[in-house]
């Protein structure tokens, strides 16, 4: 029995980074494509449909990296969503959503954390680079104490485990990784005032170098936590990762210079008082 588990574990680890092995196309027909022998995945959107994919495995805690190159040119109205989610009415979810814009205008990176079916924890950021001209790495470090959102290894957001004061934390429901490219021109760009220019379709976003250093379940059942992969990136460091002094400096820089919206400072929205996690977290 143990031997079988070890074999399965090795197979899963060795396959990290190949889209054929790790993901299924879920919708959009030919608009979603796995290319270059599994090294590249592209999603596209036209006036008829968007497209999307989902991971074959479920994950519960870990470090998950994906490189994404977003829709270039006039991407107004488009949204590229990349997120982890469990299923059901009390699902947990950890979101990155990239809101497109007119050429030369900045994307917004929208983030959220849902616990037990409830979100309302949005933080939005501009990026310090053009996310459409090259691939950049978007990561989640998700351990028992906190979730850290990283962009090119720079922390932009931390959601702490404050179960001790009654704030739910997503640590019980395994999640799959989802991504989709879709039309959201009713709200995405400048609050919905800028519409998708369909003469520019199809719109395309690209994904590569997926890496998961994590505990996960394959469709055939639970597997132990993996602490290795074929890229030499994994070392299990995510398990007790927090922000060190450099990380705290960087997140301060990001939140000062690039933060567009923070639910934790939106007093108008929470007239009864800000959510409890907002008072406790040093990095909101």
Ligand X SMILES: *[C@@H]1O[C@H](CO)[C@@H](O)[C@H](O)[C@H]1NC(C)=O
Q: Nearer to ligand X by C-beta: 108 or 205?
A: 108
Q: Is 106 in the site for ligand X (CB under 6 A)?
A: yes
Q: Is 277 a catalytic residue?
A: no
72 binds ligand X (CB under 6 A): no
Q: Min. distance of Cβ 101 from ligand X in angstroms? A: 4
With CB under 6 A as the contact rule, which of the stretches 139-147, 157-165, 187-195, 227-235 interacts with ligand X? 187-195
SS3 state at 154: strand
- Is it true that the peptide bond before 217 is cis, omega within 30 degrees of 0? no
Q: Does 190 bind ligand X (CB under 6 A)?
A: yes
> CB 188 → ligand X: shortest distance, Å?
6
If one counts every other C-beta atom within 10 angstroms of the C-beta of residue 16, the result is 21
Residue 189 as a binder of ligand X (CB under 6 A): the answer is yes
The residue to which tokens 């001790």 are assigned: 164
DSSP 8-state code for residue 90? T
* 56, 150, 229, 177: CA torsion to nearest 10: 0
DSSP letter at 175 equals: B
Question: Which member of 68, 79, 99, 251 binds ligand X (CB under 6 A)?
Answer: 99
CA 163 to chain CA centroid, Å, is 22
The reply to whether 108 sits near ligand X by the rule CB under 6 A is yes
Taking 3-state DSSP, the helix, strand and coil percentages for the chain, each rounded to the nearest 5, stand at: 20, 40, 40
The piece of 19-27, 40-48, 188-196, 238-246 that touches ligand X (CB under 6 A) is 188-196
Q: Which residues pair with 11 in a beta bridge?
A: none
Residue with the closest Cβ to ligand X?
105
The footprint of ligand X (CB under 6 A) covers 99, 101, 105-106, 108, 188-190
Q: Catalytic residue positions?
A: 93, 97
């Amino acid at each position: 029995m143990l031997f079988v588990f070890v074999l399965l574990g090795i197979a899963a680890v060795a396959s990290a980074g190949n889209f054929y092995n790790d993901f299924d196309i879920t919708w959009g027909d030919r608009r979603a494509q796995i290319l270059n022998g599994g090294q590249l995945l592209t999603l596209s959107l036209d006036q008829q449909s968007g497209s999307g994919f989902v991971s074959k495995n479920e994950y519960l805690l870990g470090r998950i990296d994906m490189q994404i190159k977003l829709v270039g040119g006039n991407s107004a109205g488009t949204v590229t969503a990349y997120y982890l989610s469990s299923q059901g009415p009390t699902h947990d979810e950890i979101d990155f959503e990239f809101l497109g814009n007119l050429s030369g205008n900045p994307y917004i990176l929208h983030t959220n954390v849902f616990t037990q079916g409830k979100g309302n924890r949005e933080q939005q950021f501009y990026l310090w680079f053009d996310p459409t001209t090259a691939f950049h790495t978007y990561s989640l470090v998700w351990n028992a104490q906190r979730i850290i959102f990283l962009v090119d290894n720079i922390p932009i957001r931390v959601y702490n485990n404050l179960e001790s004061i009654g704030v739910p934390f997503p640590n019980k429901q395994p999640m799959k990784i989802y991504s989709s490219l879709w039309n959201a021109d009713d709200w995405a760009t400048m609050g919905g005032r800028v519409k998708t220019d369909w003469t520019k379709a199809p719109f395309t976003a690209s994904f590569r170098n997926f890496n998961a250093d994590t505990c996960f379940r394959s469709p055939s059942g639970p597997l132990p936590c993996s602490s290795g992969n074929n890229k030499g990136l994994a070392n299990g460091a995510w398990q007790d990762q927090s922000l060190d002094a450099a990380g705290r400096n960087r997140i301060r820089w990001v939140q000062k210079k690039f933060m567009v919206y923070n639910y934790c400072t939106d007093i108008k929205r929470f007239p009864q008082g800000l959510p409890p996690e907002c008072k406790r977290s040093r990095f909101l």
